[in-house]
Amino acid sequence: MTVREIQVKDVVTKSNLPVCDHSLNPYIGCEHGCKYCYACFMKRFTGHLEPWGEFVDVKYWKPIARPEKYAGKEIFIGSVTDPYQPCEAVYGRTRAVLEQLQGSGANISIATKSDLILRDLELIKTFPDARVSWSVNTLDEDFKNDMDNAVSIERRLAAMKAFRDAGVRTTCFISPIFPEITDVKAIIERAKNGCNLIWLEDLNLRGAFKPQIMAYIAEKYPHLVPLYRDIYTYGSRSYWEWLNSDLQAFARRAGMEYVTNDDTLRRPFDAPPVIVNFFYHSEIKKSASKKGAAAF
């Protein structure tokens, strides 16, 4: 792992994402090295020759001036890196920025695959309506290990429940869903008592990692090659349309809401989790465009 320290002018940047006003990434690159990571495009801006997942730039910045200017603004921490990847235990840049924003009135949402975030639970609780999401796309630890270097699924689910038990709104982000590999219903059953929201997102193979994923499917799941070719070569939506209908029926049986857009902050904290479907990447921006859509 190549790690270097860099100086940046600003750590909070204006965002074009439909679910937040600003994004905040204390690192460039990520030790988790997820094989399906959409953020791997960031490598071309870094000058690094190492493969994605084998380098991290640690950001340093001047203390945030007038943090109160972010009062009422949505700040998404971790849009293109995991703010609680292992190097956070050494460098503490995520904690540093949380301390600088504490008391500002900013609304923060954090995305991670780590349980290191438990270290900052009491600090995160001080932010109004803080939200934290954990990515979980399997209950099979062997498949997880094939796909990323993050902590185990069990550790992620335990951290999620600890935050919810502490009164912080939590999300189980079932993403990316690998067709016929990700058991979405099993994950929902396992996670539903530890989260307020369940987000669903399809596997997007438009990135440079497509050949790698398709080669993995051919090696480990050869019987699924025709399905993956149908979806990712010929653009068929049949599988996602079927899964959408199947999950709608599952949600009705389980007494859970199944929607395409939701503002969880307007729902009672102890209400059953809401399932939000964000299939079809080309439509995510349009379907999430309303102010107040569930933010990450």
Tell me the per-residue pLDDT of 131-146, one tens digit each, with 9 for 90 and over: 999 999 999 999 999 9
Tens digit of each residue's pLDDT (9 = 90 or more) over 242-295: 999 999 999 999 999 998 766 666 678 888 899 998 886 444 333 333 333 333
Confidence tier at 17 by pLDDT (50, 70, 90): confident
Considering the segment(s) 2-287 as one domain, its CATH architecture is: Alpha-Beta Barrel (3.20)
d(C-alpha 261, C-alpha 259), whole Å: 6
Dihedral angle sign, alpha carbons of residues 143, 147, 153, 155: positive
pLDDT tens per residue, range 41-85: 666 667 777 787 788 999 999 999 999 999 999 999 999 899 999
In this prediction, residue 42 carries a pLDDT of 67
At 189-224, the pLDDT tens digits run 999 999 999 999 999 887 788 999 999 999 999 999
Q: Produce one character per residue of 212-243: b if its CB has 16 or more CB atoms within 10 Å, e if not.
A: ebbebbeeebeebeebbeebbeeeeeebbeeb
Using CA atoms, how far apart are residues 89 and 95, in angstroms rounded to an integer?
10
Q: What is the pTM of this model?
A: 0.90
Rg (Cα) of the chain, in Å, rounded?
Answer: 19
What's the rounded Cα separation, in Å, for the pair 263 and 19?
11
